[in-house]
Amino acid sequence: MMNTLIPSSVRIVEVGPRDGLQNEKQAIDIATRVQLVNMLGAAGLKSIEAGSFVNPAWVPQMAGSEEVFTQIKRDDKVRYVALVPNLKGFERAISVTANEVAIFGAASEAFSKKNINCSIEESLDRFKPVMDAAKERGIPVRGYVSCVISCPYEGEIAPQKVAQVSERLLAMGCYEVSLGDTVGTGTPAGVNRMLEAVLSVIPAEKLGVHFHDTYGQALANIYASLQMGIAVVDSSIAGLGGCPYAKGAAGNVATEDLVYMLNGLGIQHGVDLNKLIAAGQFISDKLGRQSGSKVAIATNNQ
Ligand code: HMG
Ligand code: MG
pLDDT score of 243: 75
Element (H, E) at 68: helix 65-71
208 in Cβ contact with 13 (< 8 Å): yes
Instruction: State residue 21 phi and psi, 5-degree precision.
Output: -75, -20
pLDDT beneath 50, residues of the chain: 1
pLDDT score of 206: 98
pLDDT score of 244: 75
pLDDT tens, position by position, 77-118: 999 999 999 999 999 999 999 999 999 999 999 999 999 999
pTM equals 0.97
Give dist(CA 231, CA 23) in Å, integer.
27
184 in Cβ contact with 215 (< 8 Å): yes
58 lines ligand 1 (CB under 6 A): yes
Q: Which residues pair with 209 in a beta bridge?
A: 179, 233
pLDDT tens, position by position, 107-120: 999 999 999 999 99
**Angle at the Cα of 252 (from 195 to 190), degrees rounded to 5?**
25
214 lines ligand 1 (CB under 6 A): no
Give me the active site residues, please: 243
pLDDT score of 1: 46
Nearest listed ligand to the Cα of residue 244: 1
Q: Which atom of ligand 1 is nearest to 106's Cα?
A: 57
182 in Cβ contact with 215 (< 8 Å): no
Q: Which of 90, 189, 96, 95 is nearest to 140 (CA)?
A: 90
Q: Please list the helix, strand and coil fractions of the chain in percent, rounded to the nearest 5, in that order.
A: 45, 20, 35
pLDDT score of 3: 62
Q: Which domains, from first to last, does the chain contain?
A: 11-300 (3.20.20.70)
DSSP per-residue letters across 93-126: HHHTT-SEEEEEEES-HHHHHHHHSS-HHHHHHH
Beta strands in the chain (DSSP E): 11-14, 47-52, 79-83, 100-106, 141-146, 150-151, 155-156, 176-181, 207-211, 232-235
Give dist(CA 261, CA 158) in Å, integer.
30
